[in-house]
Amino acid sequence: MIYMQQDYYALRPHGHTIKIQQGHTATVQLLAYEFTKYGKEYEYDAPVKLLEKHLHAMTQSVDEQLVVVSQVLVSDINIGYEEIVNTQVVAFNGKPVKNLKCLAEMVENCEDEYMEFNLDYHQIVVLQTKTAKMATLDILTTHCIPSAMSDDLKT
């Protein structure tokens, strides 16, 4: 299963890169992810908006990825955001999200007072940066997650 905390974190369960940021699990939307999450009938069970983007949208560059919040992990900092699942991350602090590595770097280097994640369906997640970054370690420990991001996002 893929997790994201409010410190974008990446694991590689089932070979998927993920990033956990303050309890929100972000992953790159791949056909393999959809198959793992929804089974053989993924084209009938996956969210239509994500499936449409994955199958029919054109990328603007070779490194562009469809980054989604796949799950929000339980934590006090995430109260009110628990229902966000399989939703595209469109922008972070007003800057477009090109791929998961770009998002991870923007979050790790954020020095603003608040982190604002603009999601599909006009949803916005706003977290106090200092509090969110401090909560990440507790979230990782609580959910037995060894690292906030996969090795490919650390370089």
Angle between helices 31-38 and 48-56 (to 10 degrees): 150
Q: Please, what are the averages of pLDDT over each run of 10 residues along the chain (155 residues)?
A: 34 48 60 68 78 77 86 90 91 95 94 96 94 91 89 81
Half-sphere exposure in the Cβ direction for 43 (13 Å, CA): 2
* pLDDT for position 89: 94
Q: How many residues does the chain have?
A: 155
Architecture of domain 13-154: Alpha-Beta Barrel (3.20)
Measured between alpha carbons, how far is residue 145 from residues 1, 13, 101, 112 in Å?
A: 11, 11, 19, 26
Give the H/E segment covering residue 105: helix 100-108
b/e code 62-88 from CB counts within 10 Å (16+ = b): eeebbbbbbbbbebebbeebeebebbb
Q: Which residues pair with 26 in a beta bridge?
A: 69
Distance between CA atoms of residues 82 and 84, nearest Å: 6
In Å, the largest CA–CA distance within the chain is 43
The reported pLDDT for the residue numbered 33 is: 65
Domain boundaries, the chain: 13-154
Secondary element (H or E) of residue 134: helix 129-142
Structure tokens at 18: 């993920």
Partners of 115 in the β-ladder: 127
